[in-house]
Amino acid sequence: MTGGWQGSTRRFELPPDWPELRALVLARDEHRCRWREGGTVCGRRATDVDHIRPGNDHSLTNLQALCHDHHAIKSSREGNAAPRVTRWRPTERHPGLL
């Protein structure tokens, strides 16, 4: 397993033709990062294909090429904004107090 997929289940949600879609997006975007911030496009070498709107819309209009760094920033922001699932666990008594 390569670095970006460790611990992720995302690859199981991608369509069977993902390698072809990925290649199309990278070629369409000329292998240049489409990250836009402050009116400027990054333009560095793109290695990743990102879903513009989170979810499972794999249409070409919802995909963009990003450099690894900007893909990590975007994914982190989306992860931080996602609702948290927490499990309640009863507190354990200290062994010395049993």
For 22, other C-beta atoms within 10 Å of its C-beta total: 16
User: Which is nearest to 36 in space by CA: 48, 24, 28, 44?
Assistant: 44
63 compared with 3, residue with greater pLDDT: 63
- Decide which of 4 and 86 is more confident: 86
Q: Helix, strand, or coil here: 63?
A: strand
pLDDT reported for residue 79 = 84
Residue 46 has pLDDT above 70, yes or no: yes
pTM: 0.72
Q: What is the rounded average pLDDT of the residues 59-88? A: 90
pLDDT of residue 96: 77
Q: Predicted confidence band at 3 (pLDDT cuts at 50, 70, 90)?
A: very low
